[in-house]
Amino acid sequence: MTTDKVKENDLIFLILDGKRRWLVQVRAGESFHSHRGIIEFDDIIGKDFGTVVFSKPYETQGYKFFILKPLPSDYVVHMSRKTQIIYPEDAGLILLYSGIGPGSVVIEAGCGSGALTCILGNYVRPNGHLFSYDIREKSLKNARKNVERAKLEDVVSIELGNIITDDLNLEKVDSVVLDLGDPWNAVEKVAKYLKLSGTLVSFSPTIEQVKKTTFAMEENSFVEINTYELIKRKIQVKKNATRPDSRMVGHSGYITFGRKIRNLKNPYRERKPKLKEVIDFTGMPLRS
């Protein structure tokens, strides 16, 4: 297996140390500047991913930077963003519990900065497609920029649209992912886009949103409705001093999943009970 080489316009994950790391695009004739010196992109183009480069000027700087090929999680954490992101651990659960994979057709409502958009787009390749919508022009502009940097334009469409009020003219979609303030208002509409057994995913920061969304899903023929919260803790490994990291994200959000069905009444187990027998005591002698 050959090693991938850095090409012009590629995204690279440039790492100085555990805290200082950047997701940058390589352009011929340009450079990356930091407080630890200058990295000339011409010195990187043609090198293998997984090698190192040293900052200039060598005499006064000369710091070692690692060059790695970005993972989907790197896009999420280090991409340019203006809004709250969905963290990699949440994105992983969404992928596994939604069934989204190569060839899937997916609707995303509320693309924000495009963090989850890039992850979903990466996994529906090469034959699937992600239709992403947002009602904010600023979010759309930033999301498009990040999708282009990740080279996912062929499998991701980002459009201005309101999934609650607009007709998206889509059908038999494999999965719908909602990142909205009021996802319960979208449930009835998106159920029409989903194929039978398709999955609905809703990401919400508060439990009140989860409750309203769950009740809406129950009313619109969804089953297997479950909500999860993930908490990830990083371990700081040192000789004779290994312990949990002092800082962590205590809560990212709640993720609710459901499956669409064509519901039918059960003619065998849902029979109406017989009327209760009532005894009329009118006119009958009663003991006092």
What domains appear along the chain, each with residue ranges and CATH number? 11-70 (3.10.330.20), 73-260 (3.40.50.150)
Bond preceding residue 183 cis, omega within 30 of 0 = no
Cβ atoms of residues 273 and 233 within 8 Å = no
pLDDT of residue 220: 95
**In this predicted model, what pLDDT tens digit does every residue of 110-131 receive, in sequence order?**
998 888 999 999 999 999 999 9
User: How many Cα atoms occupy the beta-carbon half-sphere of 110 within 13 Å?
Assistant: 18
pLDDT of residue 9: 85
**In this predicted model, what pLDDT tens digit does every residue of 54-79 receive, in sequence order?**
999 998 999 999 999 888 777 666 66
pLDDT of residue 65: 94
Strand order of the β-sheet with 64-68 is 21-25, 11-15, 64-68, 51-54
Eight-class DSSP state of 172: S
**In this predicted model, what pLDDT tens digit does every residue of 240-264 receive, in sequence order?**
999 998 887 778 899 999 999 998 8
**In this predicted model, what pLDDT tens digit does every residue of 146-177 receive, in sequence order?**
898 888 999 999 999 999 999 999 999 999 99
Distance CA 110, CA 89 (A): 19
Residues in the chain: 288
